[in-house]
Amino acid sequence: MKRLLFAVVLLAVASCGGGGGTGGAQQPLPPPPQGMPFGLDTRPAVAAVNLPTQAPQPGTFSLDVAFPNLSFSAAIYVSGVPGDARLVVMEQGGRLWAFAPSAIATNAQRRLVLDLSGQVQFSGEQGLLGLAFDPDFATNRFIYVHYSRSGSGTSRIARFTWDSGADIVSLASEKTILELPQPAANHNGGALAFGGDGLLYVAFGDGGGGGDTYGNGQNLATWHGSILRIDVHPSNPADAYDVPPTNPFIGRAGALPEIWAFGLRNPFRFSFDRQNGNLWLGDVGQNAREEIDIVTSGGNYGWSRFEGTLLFNSGVALASGTSHTPPVLDYPRTDGAAVIGGYVYRGSRLASLFGRYLYADYISGNVWALTWNGAQVIGNQLLDVASNPTSFGETNAGELYLATQSGTIYELSESGGGGALPSTLSATGLFSDLANLAPVSGLIEYDINHPFWSDGALKRRWLRVPAGQRITFSPAGDWVFPVGTVFVKHFEMEMTEGNPASARRLETRVLVRGSNEWFGFTYRWNGQETDADLLAARETEILTIQVPGVGARQQQYDYPSRTDCLQCHTAGAGFALGVRTRQVNRDFAFPLATDNQLRTYNHIALFSTDISPVDQYQSFTAPDDAGASLTARARTYLDVNCAQCHRPGGSTGVDIDLRFDTSTNAMNAVGAAPQAGDLGIANARIIAAGSKETSVLWQRVRALDGNRMPPIASHLVDQTAVDVLGAWIDAL
Q: Is the pLDDT at 2 greater than 60, yes or no?
A: no
402 closest CA partner among 75, 701, 7: 75
Evaluated on CA atoms 626, 629, 631, 635, the torsion sign reads negative
Mean pLDDT value across the chain? 90
Q: Is the pLDDT at 105 greater than 90, yes or no?
A: yes
Question: Which amino acid is residue 718, in one-letter code?
Answer: D
Confidence of residue 720 (pLDDT cuts 50, 70, 90): very high
Label residues 200-224 b or e (16+ Cβ within 10 Å = b). bbbbbbbbbeeebebebbbbbebbb
Q: Are 134 and 676 contacting, i.e. CB atoms less than 8 angstroms apart?
A: no
Backbone angles phi, psi at 598, to 5 degrees: -60, -40
Give the pLDDT confidence score for residue 30 in this predicted structure: 67
Q: Are 224 and 207 contacting, i.e. CB atoms less than 8 angstroms apart?
A: yes
In whole angstroms, give the CA distance from residue 92 to residue 96: 9
464 closest CA partner among 477, 483, 437, 491: 483
- Percent of the chain having pLDDT more than 70? 92
Q: Reduce the secondary structure of 488-532 to three states and give it as a string.
A: EEEEEEECECCCHHHEEEEEEEEEEECCCCEEEEEEEECCCCCCE
Q: Are 230 and 159 contacting, i.e. CB atoms less than 8 angstroms apart?
A: no
Average pLDDT, stretch 472-491? 94
Give the pLDDT confidence score for residue 374 in this predicted structure: 82
Confidence of residue 275 (pLDDT cuts 50, 70, 90): confident
Tell me the per-residue pLDDT of 502-531, one tens digit each, with 9 for 90 and over.
999 999 999 999 876 788 889 999 999 999
Average pLDDT, stretch 140-156? 97
Q: What is the CA radius of gyration of the chain?
A: 27
Q: Are 255 and 261 contacting, i.e. CB atoms less than 8 angstroms apart?
A: no
Give the pLDDT confidence score for residue 501 in this predicted structure: 96
Tell me the per-residue pLDDT of 597-622, one tens digit each, with 9 for 90 and over.
999 999 999 999 999 999 999 999 99
Average pLDDT, stretch 145-169? 97
Q: Is the pLDDT at 23 greater than 50, yes or no?
A: no
Give the pLDDT confidence score for residue 561 in this predicted structure: 76
Residues facing 64 on adjacent strands = 411
Give the pLDDT confidence score for residue 464 in this predicted structure: 97
Q: Is the pLDDT at 351 greater than 90, yes or no?
A: no
Q: Is 559 helix (H, G, I), strand (E, B) or coil?
A: strand
Average pLDDT, stretch 75-97? 97
In whole angstroms, give the CA distance from residue 470 to residue 472: 7
Give the pLDDT confidence score for residue 594 in this predicted structure: 96
Give the pLDDT confidence score for residue 21 in this predicted structure: 43
Confidence of residue 14 (pLDDT cuts 50, 70, 90): very low
Give the pLDDT confidence score for residue 12 in this predicted structure: 30
Q: Is the pLDDT at 202 greater than 80, yes or no?
A: yes
Q: Reduce the secondary structure of 194-231 to three states and give it as a string.
A: ECCCCCEEEECCCCCCCCCCCCCCCCCCCCCCEEEEEE
In whole angstroms, give the CA distance from residue 326 to residue 292: 9
Label residues 479-503 b or e (16+ Cβ within 10 Å = b). bbbeebbbbbbbbbbbeeeeeeeeb
Q: Is the pLDDT at 418 greater than 80, yes or no?
A: no
Q: Are 41 and 364 contacting, i.e. CB atoms less than 8 angstroms apart?
A: no
Give the pLDDT confidence score for residue 362 in this predicted structure: 95
Backbone angles phi, psi at 460, to 5 degrees: -125, 155
Most confident option among 5-14, 85-94, 373-382, 417-426: 85-94
Q: Is 628 helix (H, G, I), strand (E, B) or coil?
A: coil
Give the pLDDT confidence score for residue 49 in this predicted structure: 95
Give the pLDDT confidence score for residue 436 in this predicted structure: 96
Average pLDDT, stretch 192-198? 93
Q: Is the pLDDT at 179 greater than 50, yes or no?
A: yes
Average pLDDT, stretch 278-289? 96
Average pLDDT, stretch 278-298? 96
Alpha helices, H only, 321-469: 425-428
Give the pLDDT confidence score for residue 649 in this predicted structure: 65
In whole angstroms, give the CA distance from residue 532 to residue 547: 27
CA 229 to chain centre: 19
Give the pLDDT confidence score for residue 8 in this predicted structure: 30
Q: Which comes out higher in pLDDT, residue 355 or 728?
A: 728
Q: Is the pLDDT at 17 greater than 50, yes or no?
A: no
Q: How far apart are the first and last CA of the chain?
A: 49
The beta strand positions in 296-376, using DSSP E, are 306-307, 310-311, 329-332, 339-344, 357-361, 366-372
Q: Which pTM does this prediction carry?
A: 0.64
Give the pLDDT confidence score for residue 515 in this predicted structure: 77
Q: Is the pLDDT at 651 greater than 70, yes or no?
A: no
Confidence of residue 416 (pLDDT cuts 50, 70, 90): low
Label residues 663-690 b or e (16+ Cβ within 10 Å = b). ebeebbbbebebbbbbbebeebbbbbee
Give the pLDDT confidence score for residue 520 in this predicted structure: 84
Q: Are 511 and 575 contacting, i.e. CB atoms less than 8 angstroms apart?
A: yes
Q: Are 568 and 518 contacting, i.e. CB atoms less than 8 angstroms apart?
A: no
Full set of structural domains in the chain with CATH = 36-56+419-617 (no CATH), 60-415 (2.120.10.30)
Give the pLDDT confidence score for residue 445 in this predicted structure: 97
Average pLDDT, stretch 429-436? 97
Give the pLDDT confidence score for residue 650 in this predicted structure: 66
Q: Is the pLDDT at 656 greater than 80, yes or no?
A: yes
Tell me the per-residue pLDDT of 541-578, one tens digit each, with 9 for 90 and over.
999 999 999 999 999 999 987 767 766 776 666 778 88
In whole angstroms, give the CA distance from residue 719 to residue 389: 49
Question: Which amino acid is residue 571, in one-letter code?
Answer: A
Q: Is the pLDDT at 252 greater than 80, yes or no?
A: yes
Give the pLDDT confidence score for residue 444 in this predicted structure: 97
The beta strand positions in 249-346, using DSSP E, are 259-262, 269-272, 279-283, 289-295, 306-307, 310-311, 329-332, 339-344
Average pLDDT, stretch 357-385? 93
